Amino acid sequence: MRARLLLVALLVFAAATRPAGALVAAVDRNYPPHEWWQAGEARGFNAEVLRAVARELGEPLEFRPYVWAEAERALDRGEVDLLCMARTPRRAERYALTRTPILPLALAIFVREGTTGIPDLSALAGRTVAVEENDISHRVLRERCPEAVAVAVPDQAEALRLLAAGEVTAYLGNRHTGPYLIGRLGLRGLRTIGEPVPIGERVIALPSHRAALRDRVDQALERLTADGTLERLRAKWFGRPLLATPPDWRPVLRAIAAGAALVLLVAGALVYWNRSLRREVRRRTEELRASEARYRALLETALEAVLVVDLETTEIRYANPAACRLGNVSPEEALGVPLSRFLAPGENSRFREAFEALREGTRGTDPRTYELRRADGTRLWVEVVSSPIEYQGRPAALIYARDVTEREENRHRAEQADRLRSVGRLAGGVAHEFNNLLAAVLGHAELGESGTSDPTARRRFRAVARAAQRGGEIARQLLAYSRQQPLRPRTVDLCAEVRRAVEFLRPLLPRSIEIRV
């Protein structure tokens, strides 16, 4: 209850301090070309729109200057009737906003000359960004790029001064106000980057209890839109760059006069300097040609392969004779061809990883070995070292390669020999165990044959014994392979060997299969 009484008292006090019958509008002291205070009066696009609205309403109009945060508070307290601002959901709940907009709004990102890599608001993450405190740019930065480091200042002029001094990376502000202030403050080396950031539209705000007056203002804006007044004001203030005050040509005239006094002296000096410059250019050109010829000769006669490969397309831009010999191609066949065409199928993923590292870094890669395939199908191995460079205005990789095929083949042979030795040791162990098992089988077969008089059983025991003996021979061969038993070559009867094998296999095969020897 006390809060309500206090609010009513403030509104009554504010109404009592205004001239009777006059509309009171608040303007930002320093927000050109939209609105600013100069020589005791309000100027700018917003001020002219408010004057046109007052004329349509037939009401006198008084302007009061504020810093922006104070202007909003004055509207809250009811000290003023009109204030131009951007439409937002929060303000729509807080004030009576006109339905008819007076200007579409957009922000721009301002940076120093030479700054790159900021295509949009998200790229400001982790960077210092100057904004006007409590301005819509401050809210937009917090909502759309909370990772940015916001540096809030009282007004946009101060924000631009911080940017020009290099104390912040960027300034986010009104796309029209920024260029205007840059020109008025005489700042150099600043520009916009990326696309404008649309933020909605500007409307006229009134205290929430003045809805009836808001409707009258809306009707006035509709009439100003219909008769073209609003469009003419937009063209006047935003159709071309404006200055806060008429340009002062006196410094320019003084500079022209001073320059004219030096023309004759400079003209003679220029003639002499021009001749000297031509001689110097000729001398430097010859030196560059000689230097280029020396380096080209070094590359052309180098034993190692040297290539220049485009980092984006991976196409070969230069290949010295050693590189062409390595790939068994002519220079014409190599240029413009993706380097991956010469790689073995399994090397493409490693090749892409190496190029990604070159694109992201500034240092070269460590030596790496790749398997290549020539056009004739032969394979070879090369050891490659690469570094990022710029070639003909594009990012590229400088690659040095040397043939290490013999080294790799020796390594492969050594690995194969190690594997064979491992297999031999395994075979020797298996043969020993196999011999032990076969000795038991052979002994039981002999006991079985001597312990029965059945001819069929005795024949089968003899077959088991022969199989065990054959197994013993295989075990001895495995031992010989593993170099654990000396080889004993002997003459064998192939027919007898076949008959023994058939006799061993016959009991194991179904009756539907017949073996004839």
Rounded Cα distance between 288 and 296, Å, is: 12
pLDDT bracket for residue 252 (50, 70, 90)? low
Cis status of the peptide bond prior to 33, with omega within 30 of 0: yes
List C-alpha distances in Å: 267 to 69, 244, 259, 261. Answer: 58, 38, 12, 11
Q: What is the pLDDT of residues 155-214, one digit of tens each?
A: 888 999 999 999 999 999 988 888 888 888 899 999 998 888 888 899 999 999 999 999
> Do 360 and 452 belong together in one domain?
no
In this prediction, residues 281-288 reach a mean pLDDT of: 84
Highest mean pLDDT among 53-67, 190-204, 286-300: 53-67
> Do 382 and 329 belong together in one domain?
yes
Q: What is the pLDDT of residues 388-420, one digit of tens each?
A: 888 888 888 888 888 887 887 788 888 777 776
Q: Does pLDDT of 7 surpass 90? A: no
Q: Does pLDDT of 449 surpass 80? A: no
> Do 436 and 496 belong together in one domain?
yes
pLDDT at 222: 94
Look at residues 155, 160, 187, 193 and name the one whose alpha carbon lies nearest to residue 34.
Answer: 155
pLDDT at 435: 72
pLDDT at 250: 57
Domain final position from 370, 403, 436: 403
Give the chain's length: 517
> Do 419 and 389 belong together in one domain?
no
Looking at per-residue pLDDT, the higher value among 324 and 247 belongs to 324
> Do 381 and 432 belong together in one domain?
no
Q: What is the pLDDT of residues 298-332, one digit of tens each?
A: 777 777 888 888 888 888 888 888 878 877 788 78
Q: What is the pLDDT of residues 146-163, one digit of tens each?
A: 999 999 998 888 999 999
Identity of the amino acid at 245: T
pLDDT at 401: 84
Find residue 66's DSSP bridge partners. Answer: 28
Looking at per-residue pLDDT, the higher value among 2 and 347 belongs to 347
In this structure, what token pair is assigned to residue 385?
């070292």
In this prediction, residues 485-489 reach a mean pLDDT of: 61
Domain span at residue 377 reads 302-403
Q: Please answer whether residues 469 and 442 qualify as being in contact, where contact means their C-beta atoms are separated by less than 8 angstroms.
A: yes
Interstrand relation of 23-28 and 61-66 (parallel, antiparallel or unpaired): parallel
Domain final position from 403, 419, 445: 403
Q: Does pLDDT of 239 surpass 90? A: no
Q: Does pLDDT of 225 surpass 60? A: yes
> Do 321 and 358 belong together in one domain?
yes
Positive or negative CA dihedral for 148, 154, 156, 157? negative
- Structurally, the chain folds into a number of domains equal to 2
pLDDT at 243: 32
**Domain-embedded: residue 80:** no
Q: Per residue in 290-327, is it b (16+ CB within 10 Å) or e — as a string?
A: eeeeeeeeebeeeebbbbbbbbeebbbbbbbebbbebb
Rounded Cα distance between 177 and 184, Å, is: 10
User: Which strand (E) or helix (H) includes residue 86?
Assistant: strand 83-86
**Domain-embedded: residue 376:** yes
> Do 307 and 399 belong together in one domain?
yes
**Domain-embedded: residue 390:** yes
Which of 36-45, 74-83, 263-272 comes out lowest in average pLDDT? 263-272
pLDDT at 131: 93
Looking at per-residue pLDDT, the higher value among 158 and 459 belongs to 158
**Domain-embedded: residue 207:** no
pLDDT bracket for residue 431 (50, 70, 90)? low
Q: Does pLDDT of 497 surpass 80? A: no
pLDDT at 163: 93
Residue 256 burial (CB < 10 Å; 0-12/13-18/19+)? Answer: exposed
User: Which strand (E) or helix (H) includes residue 194?
Assistant: strand 190-206
pLDDT at 11: 42
Q: What percent of the chain has pLDDT over 70?
A: 87
**Domain-embedded: residue 483:** yes
> Do 378 and 420 belong together in one domain?
no
Q: What is the pLDDT of residues 104-150, one digit of tens each?
A: 888 999 999 999 889 888 899 999 999 998 888 888 999 989 999 99
> Do 451 and 498 belong together in one domain?
yes
Q: What is the mean pLDDT of the chain?
A: 81
Domain final position from 403, 421, 454: 403
**Domain-embedded: residue 35:** no
Q: Please answer whether residues 168 and 129 qualify as being in contact, where contact means their C-beta atoms are separated by less than 8 angstroms.
A: yes
Q: What percent of the chain has pLDDT over 90?
A: 28
Look at residues 222, 119, 112, 247 and name the one whose alpha carbon lies nearest to residue 166.
Answer: 112
CATH number at residue 325: 3.30.450.20
> Do 397 and 306 belong together in one domain?
yes
**Domain-embedded: residue 418:** yes
**Domain-embedded: residue 211:** no
